Amino acid sequence: MNKRRKTKNVTSIAIKLNAIKVRDLFFKFLIIDAILMAILIGLWCIESEKSFYGELVNNAERAINFYPIETATYTVIWDDGKTMVKAASYFLYNLRKIIIIVGMVEGIFLLEEIIFGTARVRKILKPLNEIAETAERLSNMVFDEEKFHSLEDAISKISPVASDERIHIGDSEFKGLEDAINKLLDRMRDSYRQQARFVSDASHELRTPISVIQGYANMLDRWGKSDESVLDESITAIKSESENMKNLVEQLLFLARGINGKTQLTIEEFSLSNMINEVIEESKMIDDKHVYTYINLEEVNVYGDVGLLKQTARILVENAAKYTETGEKIVLKTGRNSKGEPYFSVQDNGIGIDTEDIPHIFERFFRADTARVRKNGGTGLGLSIAKWIIDNHNGYFSVVSRKEIGTRITVYLP
């Protein structure tokens, strides 16, 4: 009974709203018809004057007698004595036909709105009515303190970080709340695992340079004061490891700022071809052990943060150099794919990557087994930084690699 009464109330509201809409539409049609008649009459009068006198004179005397329609006339008297008396009955008959046709079309629209408008309004009001019904059901729900305590006990027994347990008290009324809490727990646990892994990996990476520095510092303390060879070796090693540690900390801070939204992109249009050409020239100056080649298929302009995209290109080039033997070629290329998306790629003839490792190369601190044999160390964060930069440009990577043949990494910037 209550539901039927609510349905009647919704129908009554829909009828009232539709009546207001029909009334407004009717008056809009009246205004449109009046404006249309005024425009047509004005145009006819102007055309009549020009046909008779040759031009339109502002200070002429004009008189319109449109009633009765059978003897309707339009009279104009000019200063030079010329007078025009033109019959308007034929024009008025045609005007009446036009207004009747327009009125019939408008009447069809009004009739359609009267017949179907209420149903459309009810359809629009349906979500609001459902919200109101849900709110009423919630307000009338009998509070069961025992159920509340059951849910509270279930939540208190769950560890958000240490287990994979889920809340389930078997009450249909709390099903939606259970699902929401379980999804929140899943996100918390996933976030905790990522954070724990990140801290563990960062600690592991920092432990090595710290141990090396500590070892050489102890050696300096014991023998370096009097042995110049030990002194030089220790200073060189400490400087190298300090630089590695500094790079690691800087990259960690970059990723942390990016995740927290503190790294802002400066978007501008620039030449991707020129940017890659600059990276090539810089690489040739820094690294004379490899042969760098640039293939520019076409001049490409993109929108993005030129500094961050240049950093991405440098990271890919540095990786290629680490895994490629001395004297081998590293090829950079720019162009557009078949979809018209701009891209740049870095290809080497290095040791390659195992197929099962490719999906993980952008993870923080990930190192494939083949990467462990490289002579030059790294932080394991370069590709993670590159991925963050490209993700924030709405771009994506394509990686093709074969063991002992080489690797090609392409960056697409749609």
Q: What share of the chain is helix, strand, coil (3-state, %, to 5)?
A: 60, 15, 25
pLDDT in the model for residue 373: 43
Alpha-carbon separation of residue 80 from 49, 60, 250 (angstroms): 14, 10, 94
Most confident of 66-80, 121-135, 276-290: 276-290
Confidence check: pLDDT of 341 > 90 = yes
Residues 160, 165, 166, 167, Cα dihedral to 10°? -90
Locus of tokens 């179907």: 116
Greater confidence (401 vs 179) lies with 401
Alpha carbon 379 to chain centroid distance?
31
What tokens were used for 252? 């960690």
Tell me the residue type at 227: D
Q: Which of 352, 313, 318 is nearest to 333 (CA)?
A: 313
For residues 310 and 279, what is the distance between their CA atoms, to the nearest angstrom?
7
pLDDT in the model for residue 103: 86
Residues whose CB falls within 8 Å of the CB of residue 337, separated by 6 or more in sequence, listed in order: 343, 412
What is the enclosing helix (H) or strand (E) of 219?
helix 175-219
Tell me the residue type at 202: A
Across the chain, mean pLDDT equals: 81
pLDDT in the model for residue 378: 60
The domains of the chain are located at: 2-52+88-140, 175-259, 268-412
What tokens were used for 375? 């002579």
For residues 272 and 311, what is the distance between their CA atoms, to the nearest angstrom?
13
Least confident of 61-65, 199-203, 319-323, 400-404: 199-203
pLDDT digits (tens, 9 = 90+) for 38-64: 888 888 888 888 888 778 877 888 888
Angle subtended at Cα 245 by Cα 244 and Cα 249, rounded to the nearest 5 degrees = 120
For residues 88 and 194, what is the distance between their CA atoms, to the nearest angstrom?
87
For residues 208 and 205, what is the distance between their CA atoms, to the nearest angstrom?
6
Residues whose CB falls within 8 Å of the CB of residue 297, separated by 6 or more in sequence, listed in order: 333, 334, 335, 336
Greater confidence (29 vs 248) lies with 29
Contact (CB, 8 A) for 118 and 100: no
Least confident of 161-165, 270-274, 299-303: 161-165
Omega cis (within 30) before 342: no
Tell me the residue type at 33: D
Confidence check: pLDDT of 326 > 60 = yes
Contact (CB, 8 A) for 167 and 183: no
Q: What is the average per-residue pLDDT within 60-82?
A: 83
175-259 placed in CATH 3.40.50.1000? no
Strand ranges, E, within 221-327: 268-271, 291-296, 301-304
- φ, ψ of residue 350 to 5 degrees: the values are -85, -155
For residues 330 and 349, what is the distance between their CA atoms, to the nearest angstrom?
7
pLDDT digits (tens, 9 = 90+) for 128-156: 777 777 777 666 655 566 666 676 777 77
DSSP tag of 220: I
Tell me the residue type at 78: W
Long-range contact pairs involving 337-340 (C-beta distance under 8 Å, separation at least 24): 337/412, 339/414
pLDDT in the model for residue 399: 95
**Percent of the chain predicted with pLDDT > 70:** 82
pLDDT-based confidence at 372, cuts 50/70/90?
very low
For residues 296 and 334, what is the distance between their CA atoms, to the nearest angstrom?
5
75 three-class SS: strand
Least confident of 70-79, 114-123, 212-221, 370-379: 370-379
Contact (CB, 8 A) for 381 and 252: yes
Alpha-carbon separation of residue 2 from 8, 121, 124, 136, 139 (angstroms): 10, 21, 21, 12, 15
268-412: which CATH number, 3.40.47.10, 3.30.565.10, 1.10.10.410, 3.20.20.70?
Answer: 3.30.565.10
